Structure 1
Amino acid sequence: MASQVTFIGAGNMASAIIGGMIDSGYPRDAITATAPHEEALTPVRERLGIQTSTDNARAVASADVVVLAVKPQIMREVCEKLRDAVQARKPLIISVAAGLPAETLDAWLGGELAVVRCMPNTPSLVGAGAAGLYANARVSDDQRGLATELLEAVGLVEWVEEEALLEAVTAVSGSAPAYFFLMFEAMEEAGTKLGLPADTARRLAMQTAFGAARMAMDSDKAPGELKRNVMSPGGTTERAIEHLEDAGLRRIMAEAMTACAERAREMAEELGKR
């Protein structure tokens, strides 16, 4: 019998995970989603065919897993109102909210709970996500397996054994879709200056990125070797790569990702004090 999973929040990320679960064969009648107002739930219920409720505590009362999918800014209020229902049931808690430590979530929910923190990214909305997961000491092996099953429904899952490493996950994958969107934007602009129509440059850049990622994921070779395989001595690719290296691309990426991780730490401190 499938574990009963309740999503607190029915926004884009929750809907993406639910849709992925259903596509992977998870039974619809084992999934519930909540939201404060019925108008937010109607399209989710009609599209996904799951149970919905505007009563968080009631929805948690029979849950084996509770997925917290609300904005970090309102998480404390939501958790404190759920405390009695959660303590009565002791479900696995999975949070997809950025910046809130497992210890803080556990305290807001009354303590002594199995908590998994998940840092997903927006490609999860199209089933191509990448998520870093961290489990506190109360999470059993079976619960780890269940969390993996739920999140793999929308993409790749990688576990980290130290919670602080979720800040690095934020830099490497959580915020990283925007890095690639910036690259697409820059390539489109450069392509148009070279004479291509904007839509042609955009499609070529995006398809090339998709193909490069697919090649890298399907290959046992390191990215550096794949890069060298494209570069002919004295050729066009070598000239472009030399220019990127001379311009400090590696340093720029390192500085940007460090800034991202530092902001993730700051947000954790700010949100934890609310």
Structure 2
Amino acid sequence: MSTFLNLTVYGLSDGAILALAALGFVLIYKATGVINFAQGELLLIGGYTLYLTFVVFKLPLVLAVVVGAAIAIALGVVIERLVLRPLIGENPISVIMVTIGLAALLNALVQIGFGTQPVHRPRILPDDPVRFAGAQLPLDRLLVIVIAAVVLGVFTMFFRYSRHGIALRAVADDQQAALTVGISVRRAFALAWALAALSALIGGVLLGDITETSPRLAAFGLLVFPVVILGGLDSVPGTIVGGLTIGLTANYISGYWDAGFAQIGPYVLLILILLVRPYGLFGETRIERV
């Protein structure tokens, strides 16, 4: 029972971080139609941004988080404005290749600036064990689940009730219709990238706190792809279900079977589900008539 509870907590915390990163992926895809292969690197940038503001610049924690969020939002806007906007209307393969190149560039810049070894910063979340049902559960992992749930809830409220969130949903549903009612599609594109970078920043900060801040954060970000495909490329609720499913699957396989197979287990699960539901669990089925 103790092992099961620990694996569940670890799986839910990993899945919550994956859901945050996958949320940005889905936002970009829904609003712009771009499949962003640099989302894992945005997670990496998030982890190092807090290190930069908190450790290097020695800002107070709250101010460091606020400045880090501002940097992440600015980065998202710059990427959309300078890299992706000139490619509007181009071949989708060209856009995908650009995001792959962007991922390599961001990874290289991090390694040039901070090196290839993990960097050390003070822990933000307490890691004292919590006893529950005879098991000792890590407090920092429990707090990650709570924080991620709150952040995802705030994003959901933003999309549902705020003027900018409704505009972003309108652009995602029909760009031409959004233009006719005065919504700036280009501004919505910039907002989607800014929110994607912000969600990745939060995920990267949490991941760096419970593991380590190193270039390997980008490797964890690769699991974003099975998450979004499993949940559905255009489904925000699907990112939550997909993230938790992938996180739990990887940790259960690692704990009860083989840690090596846990690296490919999520992809095997993805293939099995896609054989039954090609558009993912929550994806919108598209039927084209010619």
Same fold, TM-score > 0.5, yes or no: no
**Structure with greater contact order relative to length (CA < 8 Å, sep ≥ 6):** 2
TM, length-normalised to structure 2: 0.26
The structure that has the greater radius of gyration is 1
Q: TM-score, normalised by structure 1?
A: 0.27
When you count helix as a share of all residues, which structure comes out higher? Answer: 2
